[in-house]
Amino acid sequence: MARQRKRKGDPVHGWLVLDKPVDMTSTQAVGIIKRLFNAQKAGHGGTLDPLASGILPIALGEATKTSQWAMDSEKEYLFTIEWGTSTDSQDKEGAVIATSPARPTREAVGAALGKFIGEIDQVPPKFSAIKVNGERAYDLARDGEDFELESRKVVVHEARVTEMPDADHTTLHVVTGKGFYVRALARDLAFDLGCEGHISMLRRTRVGDFTTEVAITPEALEAMGEAPADRMTALLPLETALEDLPWVDLAPGDGDALRQGRTVKLLPHVMEAWRADDRSRREDRLALAMDGETALAIGEVRAGQFKPSRVFQV
């Protein structure tokens, strides 16, 4: 029987909230954090363009099993539209495809934003990671291929103008659901205003419960010490991305059974606490099983039992 190859690195588990600088890709950021922690496994909780700065949650070890919750969570952005030119990528890195002397007023921008609040149909930018017949859209766009992307439903919870320092620039703040593209909003907003425009600055300030208050730059992380262990205080627990899940406490001795993927019975007082939690009203009945202060698994609560679907080996 072939021996299983041992992973390189240490079994580090948790979330690192990186304040990503401009001109760094999300993949590069993950590589840097994986090196600094000498971690066996790492991944991010939602891509952030090289042009953009701000919150990039990076999952280490077993926290990667919770990445989808970060990707699906609310996000906040602060961005600036530069009026007068449109680019093929809708940001300042693209080639100019149109120009116009038209400039909107602050009042006009604010009024036009109302159309984009709520559930809307949005066509993603062609310069995006969406796959078209197995190919990334941005690769097809760079090769000059002619293709169209289908619109999708996205949600905008809030959109407002925060600043207009001059006629050429407008800064906006948006709070969105999953799958939303800020560059697409800039494109559509410019079209509705009869102007040309592109994103000249983009900063993500929140991903779910990951905020700038707990974020750290790569430079600050490097300065914490020479050894990976010196940086452990910068990590958040792996369950940080699961704030929308109710908790259920395991009975003494049930932790081992759960680690083996077995269904366990929940005590009556645990079920009462679960029912009293508003988060238990989820249709999927998902919950987070806790053994004291340790998160052990995500699973379903049904008929007084907890059936694990994702077990954390920590």
Q: DSSP letters along 244-270, please? A: TSPEEEPPTTHHHHHHTT--EEPPHHH
pTM: 0.91
179/182 Cα distance (integer angstroms): 10
pLDDT at position 4 is: 55
Q: Are residues 127 and 162 in the same domain?
A: yes
Active-site entry in 10, 19, 23, 49: 49
User: Considering the chain, what is the average pLDDT of its residues?
Assistant: 93
pLDDT in tens, 222-234: 999 888 888 999 9
Of the CA atoms within 13 Å of residue 165, those in its CB half-sphere come to 5
Question: Residue 259's domain spans which residues?
Answer: 245-311
User: Which residues are 204's β-sheet partners?
Assistant: 54, 77
49 is catalytic: yes
Q: Are residues 193 and 129 in the same domain?
A: yes
Q: Is residue 5 part of a domain?
A: no
Helices 182-192 & 106-113 angle (0-180, nearest 10): 120
Helices (H), 131-267: 137-142, 182-192, 218-222, 254-259
pLDDT at position 1 is: 45
pLDDT in tens, 52-66: 999 999 999 999 999
Per the CB < 8 A criterion, the answer to whether 15 and 241 are in contact is yes
pLDDT in tens, 163-215: 999 999 999 999 999 999 999 999 999 999 999 999 999 999 999 999 999 99
Q: Are residues 156 and 274 in the same domain?
A: no
Q: Is residue 1 part of a domain?
A: no
User: Which residues are 295's β-sheet partners?
Assistant: 290
